Structure formats: C-alpha cells, structure tokens
C-alpha cells in the first residue's frame, strides 16, 4: 500500500491504484439424499464376512495361554501386554544383604567346581595364622623426629636429671 506524501506529490509520483479484497464464505456441503444407499464396498455384511486378523490373532494367543496355569499364565499375559505396548512391570526389590549372600554362594560354588582340592581339609595342624607382631621399621633419623619417648626423654627424665646439666635441679 502506497501513502502519498508531500515529496511524492512534488515529484509527480502517482499513488498505486487501490486494491480491495473481499471475503467469501466457504460453500456448504450438499446433503446426501435420503433415498440413496451407501456404496457396496462399505456395507456391514461384507465386513462381517471377512474375519478380522487382529481378533483372530488375539484368540489364538488366548487359546495358547489357556493351557498354562499359575505363574506361567501370568507371565504369558504380561508378555502379551508388553507386546501390545504396555510398560513392563517393575522388578521386585531385594534386600542388599541378600544379594551379597547370593553372590558369595555363587562365587563359592564356582570356586569349588573349579578347584575341588581347595575344599579338602589341610594336613598342617598347629600352625597359627596372624600371630606376627606388627613392628615399626625404624630406618633413618626422621621417622622418630618430633616423638617424645616418655622413659628416656620425657617426664621421668626430667625428674631424674638425665639429659640436663649437673648444676640444674629437677623441677
């Protein structure tokens, strides 16, 4: 759309011709006359003559699961529902200590099957395990740096006068 301004009038530029638009409503659909019948492809009799494949498939699965009993039947129904698009049920939770016990048992059974000689009682009797003393390795001067031995350098040494000059008296 062109708006005529003072400068455009001086230059002699003519505004474009006005274009009008009109709104036309959509035409209504024609009603089907009451006396006419639907086309022969959509009649109910032809639809019922052909078996529905989905229904047949469902009936076959239903017949197959009817032979099961108890938990097998429930598992088959759950599997069928999952195949139709349902979410599978959550796994039942187990106590963590029970899981660890099961792992230990399975590990022990695997070890016993691999090494049957390992489970035999040993012939060594009277040997003590874990009887070693844990002693510190005193290697070098810096390992004992900053540590006070209470017998030679500590309180008892102060009382006896060891390590000080002879003229000093104990505290």
Position 9 scores a pLDDT of 82
In this prediction, residue 111 carries a pLDDT of 82
In order of 71, 100, 113, the CA distances from 105 in angstroms are: 27, 9, 12
**Number of separate domains in the chain:** 1
Rounded CA separation 104/108 (Å): 6
Query: Average of pLDDT values for 84-107?
Result: 93
pLDDT tens, position by position, 35-91: 777 666 655 665 666 778 888 888 998 899 988 999 999 999 999 999 989 999 998
DSSP string, 58-82: HHHHHHHHTT--THHHHHHHHHHHH
The predicted structure's pLDDT at residue 24: 86
Residue 43 in domain: no
pTM equals 0.32
Whether 83 is covered by a domain: the verdict is yes
> Within a domain: residue 57?
yes
Structural tokens at position 120: 């035999």
In a domain, 136, yes or no: no
Determine how many CB atoms are found less than 10 A away from the CB of residue 56. 10
Chain segment 21-41, per-residue pLDDT in tens: 888 888 888 877 777 776 666
For residue 144, the SS3 value is: helix
In this prediction, residue 106 carries a pLDDT of 94
pLDDT at 149: 65
Q: pLDDT of 104-160, one tens digit each?
A: 999 988 887 777 676 666 666 666 666 666 666 666 666 666 666 666 655 555 555
In a domain, 44, yes or no: no
Is 15 or 162 the better-scoring residue by pLDDT?
Answer: 15
Looking at the domain assignment, is residue 60 inside a domain? yes
Instruction: Return the pLDDT at 32.
Output: 74
Top mean-pLDDT range of 4-13, 24-33, 89-98 = 89-98
pLDDT-derived band at 7, boundaries 50, 70, 90 = confident
Inside any domain, residue 34: no
Helix axes 53-65, 71-84, angle to 10 degrees: 160
Is 84 domain-assigned? yes
Query: Distance between CA atoms of 171 and 158, rounded to whole angstroms?
Result: 8
Domain with 76 in it: 52-88
The pLDDT value recorded for residue 46 is: 59
């Amino acid at each position: 759309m062109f708006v005529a301004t003072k400068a455009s009038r001086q230059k002699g530029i003519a505004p474009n011709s006005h274009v009008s638009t009109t709104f036309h409503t959509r035409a209504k659909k024609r009603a089907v006359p009451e006396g006419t019948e639907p086309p022969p492809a959509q009649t109910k009799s032809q639809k019922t003559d052909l078996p529905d494949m989905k229904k047949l498939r469902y009936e076959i699965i239903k017949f197959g699961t009817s032979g099961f009993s108890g938990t097998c039947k429930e598992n088959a129904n759950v599997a069928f529902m999952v195949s139709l698009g349902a979410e599978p049920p959550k796994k039942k939770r187990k106590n963590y200590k029970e899981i660890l016990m099961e792992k230990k048992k399975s590990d022990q059974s695997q070890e016993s099957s691999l090494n049957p000689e390992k489970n035999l009682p040993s012939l060594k009797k009277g040997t003590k395990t874990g009887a070693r003393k844990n002693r510190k390795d005193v290697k070098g001067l810096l390992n004992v740096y900053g540590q006070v031995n209470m017998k030679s350098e500590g309180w008892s040494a102060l009382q006896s006068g060891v390590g000080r000059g002879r003229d000093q008296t104990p505290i």
